[in-house]
Structure 1
Amino acid sequence: MPAPLNTFKKSLAEGQTLFGCWMSIAEGYTAEILSGAGFDWLLIDGEHSPNDIRSIRDQMVALKGSASHPIVRVPVGETWIIKQVLDVGVQTVLVPMVETAAQARDLVRACHYPPDGTRGVGYAVGRVSNFGQMENYGPTANDQICLLVQVENKTGLDNLDEILAVEGVDGVFIGPADLSASLGYLGQSMHPDMQATIMDALQRIDQSGKAAGILTPDDAMIQASLDAGARFVAVAMDIALLLNAAKSAASKWQGRKS
């Protein structure tokens, strides 16, 4: 039995546009709830959320069989954590703070088994191969891994064209918050100068043939990003969905106290 088809990677290669939700609550129960919400993909955030490899695994289990493809953002682009998330069954990895083509090439190698890469061969005891019961996993795994890299500071933006030229990078995600801070607009990603910079970057990514991605809950920015060529777009965040709904419910009835 070969490695499962990466439907997210296939859809991007076919030019489809996919909408997702950011998951920061770090619980399998929440992931299971969101699995039925209708998003094309759900991102398990290991960078700015209290996730570890066990909670990532638990959310992967909760999403098994879901039509929403799971993506994991690792906390840092290190071989050891990429190895771990791949071994618990992750097929699509998002790596933050990618600044150079050399770094991107190292990440490509970390995602692939030898002789194409440096990924450790431990699938015989991992969830990824159904604990050794998927006999043909190893020889077929490389083709189903999807690597997404985040460009989110001035150095990365300056090197964007070189990063886009790296074979094995499937998509480039623009991080509006960190990029804005790096360019002197901390907390001002909606500033006209930043919007122009972000949309230009998305256009360059799209024109390179790679998939462009972004996270924003703002409807106008979502549409502008789509117009600029973005094809994997996170349009919601679990914490914001919960908090906004809770505040709305509370304010609705607080005003009716006797």
Structure 2
Amino acid sequence: MEMPVNTFKSALAKGDPMWGCWAGFATGYAAEIVASTGFDWLLIDGEHAPNTVPTILAQLQAVAPYASSPVVRSVNQDAALIKQLLDVGVQTLMVPMVESGEQAAALVRAMRYPPHGIRGVGGGLVRATRWDGVDDYLTKAHEALCLIVQIESPKGVEQAEAIAATEGVDAVFIGPADLSVGMGHPGNPGHPDVQQAIEKVIKTVQAAGKPVGILAPLEDDARRYQALGCQFIAVGIDISLLRQGALATVARYKERSTHQSSSTY
């Protein structure tokens, strides 16, 4: 059996814009609905959504028939958890709050087998190998894996060059919400200081030859970040889309205050 193709990694290499949606409901049913709508990629959130390894697996299985490429965000940088996520079939992993080249290099090692890393061998026990059905998986696994590290703190911004230059880091994703909080402007990623930091990261990562992504629920923000050089942009959040749609429907029949969409989440 051939190694399953990482469609997200292949699309990144082409350089075309990729529009994504955050998946926060933590169920395969909801993830499948979003995957059927035409987004290029879908972020299954293990950091802020109530996900576990089994619920992430269920969502990977649910979206597998669709063209929307799954990206999974881990809750932290724990190598043991990363091992579990890779074993259930995660091919594109996003890791939050990376603040140094050393942290980035440790994540690369967590995703690779010895002698280039520390990933444990699950063999026929794991979905990633198709239960030992993929020929020569141990030597080829890294070719189909994609590591995205998040820069979302002032320290991460300072270390952006070292992070982006780390061999094995495939892309960098900027987190405007956490960055705005860390810079003393909570809930205001549009603050000039935060925007300056975001532009600095975009230019630095591009100079390293790596793709840049960002979360931008508002269209004006998304278009601006695209013009600045971001290639993969999350423009929707499933929970927000449901809530906004529900509020708009109720508002047609009941008087209530106008709800403003958040620029962060």
Band the TM-score falls in, shorter-chain normalisation: over 0.9
SS across alignment from 1:214 = strand
Unaligned runs of 5+ in 1: none
Residue type of the alignment partner of 2:190: M
**Which residue in 2 is equivalent to 1:147?**
147
Q: Is the 8 A contact 2:3 2:135 kept in 1?
A: no
Measure the CA separation in 2 of the matches of 1:135 and 1:123.
Answer: 11
Measure the CA separation in 1 of the matches of 2:102 and 2:236.
Answer: 32
**Which residue in 1 is equivalent to 2:88?**
88
Q: Is the 8 A contact 2:157 2:197 kept in 1?
A: no
Q: How many angstroms does 1:114 deviate by?
A: 1.7
Q: Is the 8 A contact 1:20 1:236 kept in 2?
A: yes
Residues 246, 123 of structure 1: alpha-carbon distance in 2 compared, 3 angstrom cutoff:
farther
Q: How many angstroms does 1:30 deviate by?
A: 0.2
Structure 1 residues 119-138: aligned runs within 5 Å: 119-138=119-138
Measure the CA separation in 2 of the matches of 1:35 and 1:93.
Answer: 18
**Which residue in 1 is equivalent to 2:24?**
24
Measure the CA separation in 2 of the matches of 1:123 and 1:98.
Answer: 30
**Which residue in 1 is equivalent to 2:15?**
15
Residue type of the alignment partner of 1:155: K
**Deviations 1:152-204 (CA, angstroms, capped at 9, x unpaired):** 11111111111111010000111001111111111111122222221232122
Measure the CA separation in 2 of the matches of 1:2 and 1:77.
Answer: 29
Structure 1 residues 40-189: aligned runs within 5 Å: 40-189=40-189
**Which residue in 2 is equivalent to 1:3?**
3
Residue type of the alignment partner of 1:16: D
Structure 1 residues 184-203: aligned runs within 5 Å: 184-203=184-203
Measure the CA separation in 1 of the matches of 2:91 and 2:198.
Answer: 27
Measure the CA separation in 1 of the matches of 2:139 and 2:84.
Answer: 19
**Deviations 1:201-229 (CA, angstroms, capped at 9, x unpaired):** 21221222101010011111111111111
Identity of aligned residues (%): 45
Measure the CA separation in 2 of the matches of 1:205 and 1:237.
Answer: 25
Residue type of the alignment partner of 1:2: E
Q: How many angstroms does 1:232 deviate by?
A: 0.9
Measure the CA separation in 2 of the matches of 1:58 and 1:97.
Answer: 26
Number of residue pairs matched? 255
SS across alignment from 1:20 = strand
Residues 123, 228 of structure 1: alpha-carbon distance in 2 compared, 3 angstrom cutoff:
farther
**Deviations 1:89-118 (CA, angstroms, capped at 9, x unpaired):** 110000000011001000001111122211
Q: Is the 8 A contact 1:2 1:141 kept in 2?
A: no
4+ runs deviating over 6 angstroms: none
Residue type of the alignment partner of 2:155: T
Measure the CA separation in 1 of the matches of 2:123 and 2:16.
Answer: 31
What is the aligned-residue RMSD (CA, Å)? 1.1
**Deviations 1:100-144 (CA, angstroms, capped at 9, x unpaired):** 100100000111112221111103211112222223322221111
Q: TM-score scaled to structure 2, two decimals?
A: 0.93
**Deviations 1:20-48 (CA, angstroms, capped at 9, x unpaired):** 00011101100111111101100100000
Residue type of the alignment partner of 1:234: A
SS across alignment from 1:124 = helix
